[in-house]
Amino acid sequence: MPQVSLTVNGKAHKVEVEGRTLLVELLREKLGLTGTHVGCDTSQCGACVVHVDGNSTKSCSMLAIQAEGCSITTIEGLAKADGTLHPMQEMFREHHALQCGFCTPGMVMSAIDLVKMHPQGLSEAEIREGLEGNLCRCTGYHNIVKAIAAAWPLMHGHAMPAAAE
Amino acid sequence: MGFEGIGASVKRKEDGRFLAGRGNYVDDMRQTGQLHAVIKRSDRPHAKILSIDTAAAAAAPGVVAVYTGADMAAEGIGGLPCGWQIHNKDGSPMAEPPHPVLAVGKVRHVGDSVAVVIAETRQQAKDAAELLVIDYEDLPAIASVRDAVAPGAARVHDEVADNQCYDWHIGDKAIVDAAFARAKHVVKLDLLNNRLIPNAMEPRAAIGDCDVAGNYTLYTTSQNPHVIRLLMGAFVLHIPEHQLRVVAPDVGGGFGSKIYHYAEEAIVTWAAGKLRRPVRWTAERSESFITDAHGRDHDSTAEMALDEAGNFLALRVRSLCNMGAYLSTFGPAVPTYLYATLLAGVYKTPAIYAEVRAVFTNTVPVDAYRGAGRPEATYLLERLVDTIAHDTGLDRVELRRRNFIPADAFPYQTPVALQYDSGDYVATLESALKAADWAGFPARRRAAAARGKLRGIGMSTYVEACGIAPSHVVGSLGARAGLYEVAEIRVHPTGSVSVFTGTHSHGQGHETTFAQLIAAQLGVPMSQVDVVHGDTAKIPFGMGTYGSRSLPVGGSAIVKAVDKIIAKGKKIAAHLMEASVDDIEFKDGKFTVIGTDRSKALAEISLAAYVPHNYPIDELEPGLDETAFYDPKNFTFPGGCHICEIEIDADTGVPHVVNFVAVDDVGRVINPMIVEGQVQGGVAQGIGQALIENAVYDSAGQLVTGSFMDYNMPRADNVPNIHVGTETTLCTHNPLGVKGCGEVGAIGSPPAVINAVVDALSDYGVRHIDMPASPQKIWSIIQAGRPALAAE
Ligand code: FES
Ligand code: FES
């Protein structure tokens, strides 16, 4: 069986996988990181989004062996060691941006990347477009959009430029 | 900690684990020695099974067992039971054909379970399932309700003539016919309520386990673990209830689709017993599409008789409703008692008659989906009311006002069995009109026209019924279950509290709302309250969560249990403070001798109860742990007004919801943040139904919309910000005055959206458009209407 070496949430792992094993299967089945969810089999829902070398990636659409040498961050790796939540996690709680919680890990991982990729600011329409790849059946998105807008200044350390709002 | 009493938007207790990726969903669980089940699904809509050759699959690497329907039948395993029996017009019972766990002799829909392969790994089970050789003989398939009732139609079940499950009615036909005979106007509308696929984001999953003593555990994605234990234990697998534990841990959304007892639950439990190893199954999404119960799927005709002034005289409705291939647990109840009983809506229509014919088709079973029957009733009525306005030229707001049940008419007895206890439809209407700036719409329409957009506004005013009850009434209507709820409150020796509730949270936030409720009533901080649900080993027999019942029914049970705790606490306090029980009052967590400063905190009382050294032991048992069952006296009746504003791109036909206002009366609100979230989520589903969602079968019975690539789910850019308001009248018959908020969003919104679309297209001569109002349909209307418009 092929082996893959990768870093997950700061920890190095060497794991035996089948050639067809998906990254999400490696995370859930081999490493027990069940915070990353599987909501579909057509790469449409975004429940499985993780960061691969800092970029949000649907972990169901990538083979485990493709992650050789990569650094992966999952929802479990976001909070600080002392339990302090990432500002995006905080804002999701603050704005009631989750109900059943199933889409939440993927939603949070996507949202963080979205905010990072938009240092110039994010309008509501841009946030909604940026969430195209993530389905939520519970919230109607209203509060997710609010949470992301609220996380932007916390992540960038200053208020959102007025023009973007 | 801030204010956490009733009415405060307290942040959710459950969020910590979900945000950290530490939720505990069924598929996250790991059992030592676990095996993986993969179920072979029928790819035929309707076929005879001539043979199943399991040899190659059984011999494949890692395979431990392969079972078919014949194996289950040989052990006397029963079919999946139906929980509600409807009677025909003539009093005879509905047709109730068997629903085998694994198909026997025939398959009846794409997705029907044919065989199960169990292996050491999931991949091995999947690979082996490919090696099953099944020889089918195709039979003609019934793909729609119209096909089912066509003359000479093939039969889905050999023993069911005309594919008819039941032919049911409600109301007084003679009175209605007489009213139509003398009516000034009659307005008639044919309309479809499109078939939907619930698609909770967590796919269904089940793990069966059996210990050496024959004690079974089923972990399952369920909204009601006790109901599953009862149905599966008693009717399918014949396992006594003390030997069957059902656990529904964190569940990733349900919307009704996780109420029902599904084949896979029985399969993994039964197989675990045979193999004495845990057996797990998780649906792939493509499996969810063809096995989770679908929703809606009505084909209806509605007619209203009116007098000169636009007063509603009588309503006549005929609906043809899809049951799918088999009866799902509560399927038959949806188009009858959850639908036709709501046809009065918010109007004082004096006479109503509805006929409902339910039929079998070669499609996935249909059952309750968020709102269940009430969205269908609301859609029919609210489209009909707008059509009346269209046909008669009456103003649609004025027409509604004229026919509203007035606020002083409650309790109000409708002609279709229900008695509404409270409501104020003018209040929700006024509040919504204001929030949506209805009066300012013409200016916005003109401004949009200048930008080449067609702008429309639409409303719906609705009432629905939640907390379905009382048990003896639903029993007389065919329910094979009670519909009470249970709560156990355990005050621990040092004063912290656990509440065990028979309801189940799969996103609704009960761990917060219930803790908030108990904290307020017992005067302890929320952090000292733990809410336990979803495990039959821990909780008394409860009925679960659906029909927005958790707070009206489950919350009422909690209040009853709290009352018992306080009553007992008073006796203990009276003893400790040497006072008369009648002189003790309980407030803010303290038992006080009225008029003195002598008091005992709840924690002192509970300690005395568990360390009963100084205790009225002759009259009172030790402990402070009380259970209450609450059987409601009536349904609750949330209602309200939804207003949708929409813009259509005249060149492409693409509709865009630009504003949505929902003003609902859900009774007393415990946590406004959670209520708003529930309404917003429901509205998004309603907008989805109205504009983009549609489960489509081709004429051969294949599901065309079998993945997220084909079935259009609302995404973040399909829905707008959703303004939520509340106007409150209290429920008069439960102790909290609450009505339920889980479904109002999905019930009130679809007709508001379609009314807005029709309004936007008013210049194009359109009277009605069926859901979903897709860009293509809208574009065709615009194209067809253009010449007429140009000619004017
Ligand atoms: S699981 Fe749905 S996109 Fe990856
Ligand atoms: S919170 Fe349930 S799917 Fe998003």
Q: List, for residues A119-147, the tens digit of each pLDDT value.
A: 999 999 999 999 999 999 999 999 999 99
Q: Do B203 and A96 touch (CB under 8 A)?
A: no
Q: Among B266, B291, B316, where does a domain finish?
A: B291
| Span B667-716, pLDDT tens digits | 999 999 999 999 999 999 999 999 999 999 999 999 999 999 999 999 99
Residue B379 belongs to a domain: yes
Domain locations in chain A as residue ranges: 3-76, 87-155
The ligand 2 atom nearest the CA atom of A99: 1
CA distances from A23 to A16, A43, A86 (A): 12, 13, 23
Mutation target among B715, B723, B724 for the A interface, most CBs of A within 10 A:
B715
Residues B342 and B457 in one domain: yes
Residue whose pair of structure tokens reads 């309503």 in the numeric block: B315
Contact residues of ligand 1, CB 6 A cut-off? A 38-40, 43-48, 58, 60
β-pair partners for B193: B298
Answer yes or no: do B99 and B238 share one domain.
yes
Q: How many domains would you assign to chain B?
A: 3
Q: What is the CATH number of the domain that holds B272?
A: 3.90.1170.50
Same domain, yes or no, for B747 and B614? no
Return d(Cα A121, Cα A152) in angstroms, integer.
8
- The answer on B560 and B435 residing in a single domain is no
Quick one: pLDDT at residue B476? Answer: 86
C-alpha B480 chain-centroid distance: 18
Q: Is the pLDDT of residue A165 over 70?
A: no
pLDDT for position B785: 82
Strand order in the sheet with B47-53: B106-107, B47-53, B133-138
Tens digits of per-residue pLDDT, B620-655? 999 999 999 999 999 999 999 999 999 999 999 999
In this structure, what token pair is assigned to residue B460? Answer: 């719906």
Answer for the pair B152, B139: CB distance below 8 angstroms, yes or no: no
Interface test with B, best of A45, A100, A129, A139 (most B CBs within 10 A): A100
Do B460 and B372 belong to one domain?
yes
B10: number of Cβ within 10 Å: 23
Write out pLDDT tens, residues B490-539.
999 999 999 999 999 999 999 999 999 999 999 999 999 999 999 999 99
* Residue B49 is assigned to a structural domain of this protein: yes
Q: Is A14 exposed, middle or buried (0-12, 13-18, 19+ CB in 10 A)?
A: exposed
B603 in the same domain as B508: yes
Cis previous bond, B411, omega within 30: yes
Segment B578-585 shows an average pLDDT of 97
Q: What is the DSSP string of B749-763?
A: HHHHHHHHHHHHTGG
Optimal mutation site among B15, B41, B679, B723, interface A, most CBs of chain A within 10 A: B15
Q: Which residues of B190-205 are buried (b: 16+ CB within 10 A; e: fewer)?
A: ebebbbbbbbbbbbbb
Rounded distance between C-alpha atoms, residue B15 and residue A162, angstroms: 31
Single out the residue in B260, B291, B322 at which a domain terminates: B291
pTM over 0.95: yes
Among A37, A45, A57, A102, residue to substitute to test ligand 1 (most atoms within 8 Å of Cβ): A45
Provide the domain limits for residue B525.
484-630
Q: How far is the CA of B202 from the centre of ligand 2 (A)?
A: 9
**Any domain includes B127:** yes
> Six-digit token pair at A58?
């649907």
Beta-carbon contacts of residue B35 (< 8 Å; ≥ 6 apart):
B64, B118, B119, B120, B271, B275, B277, B278, B279, B280
Record: contact B27-A34, CB cut-off 8 A:
yes
Domain edge (last residue) among B606, B630, B654: B630
**What is the rounded average pLDDT of the residues B728-734?**
96
Percent of chain B surpassing pLDDT 90:
95
Q: Give the residue-averaged pLDDT of B188-211.
A: 98
Average pLDDT of span B166-172: 98
Instruction: Determine which residue's CA is closest to atom 4 belonging to ligand 2.
Output: A136
Flag whether B169 is in a domain: no
- Asked if B269 and B339 sit in the same domain, the reply is no
B324 lies in a domain? Answer: yes
Indicate whether B343 and B443 sit together in one domain.
yes
Beta-carbon separation of B285 and A41 below 8 A: yes
Q: Which CATH class is domain A87-155?
A: mainly alpha
Q: Is there a single domain that holds both residue B79 and residue B205?
A: yes
Angle, vertex CA B472, rays to CA B467 and CA B473, nearest 5: 65
What tokens does B250 get?
A: 């964190």
DSSP structural state of residue B506? S
Tell me, yes or no, whether B159 lies in a domain: no
Annotate B350-377 with b (16+ C-beta within 10 A) or e (fewer): bbbbbbbbbbbbbbbbbbbbbbbbbbbb
Strands (E), chain A: 3-8, 11-16, 49-52, 55-58, 71-73
Q: Which ligand lies nearest the alpha carbon of A28?
A: 1
Cβ atoms of B646 and B761 closer than 8 Å: no
Rounded Cα distance, B459 and B397, in Å: 8
Query: What is the DSSP-derived secondary structure letter of residue A163?
Result: G
Which residue has a Cα nearest atom 1 of ligand 1?
A: A38
Q: At what angle do helices B556-576 and B510-522 cross, to 10 degrees?
A: 30
User: Domain check: are B640 and B622 in the same one?
Assistant: no
Cβ atoms within 10 Å of B61's Cβ, excluding its own: 11
CB contacts of A41 in chain B (<8 Å) are: 284-286, 707
DSSP state of B74: H
Is the interface score ipTM higher than 0.90?
A: yes
**Bond before A87 cis per omega within 30 degrees:** no
Shortest CA distance to B745 belongs to which of B666, B651, B634, B633? B666
Asked if B553 and B651 sit in the same domain, the reply is no
What is the whole-number distance in angstroms between the Cα of residue A108 and the centre of ligand 1? Answer: 14
Task: Please tell me whether residue A101 adopts helix, strand or coil conformation.
Answer: coil
Do B510 and B594 lie in a common domain?
A: yes
Distances, alpha carbon B726 to alpha carbons B74, B182, B552, B676, B677, in Å: 57, 40, 17, 9, 13
User: Could you count the other beta carbons within 10 Å of the beta carbon of residue B137?
Assistant: 10
Would residue B164 count as lying in a domain? no
What Cα–Cα distance (Å) separates residue B227 from each residue in B207, B674, B778?
A: 17, 26, 44
Residue A18 has a pLDDT of: 95
For residue A149, is pLDDT > 90? Answer: yes
Q: Which CATH number fits the domain A3-76, given the four candidates 3.90.226.10, 3.40.1190.20, 3.10.20.30, 3.60.15.10?
A: 3.10.20.30
Give B582 Cα–ligand 2 centroid separation in angstroms. Answer: 49
CATH number, domain of B450, equals: 3.30.365.10
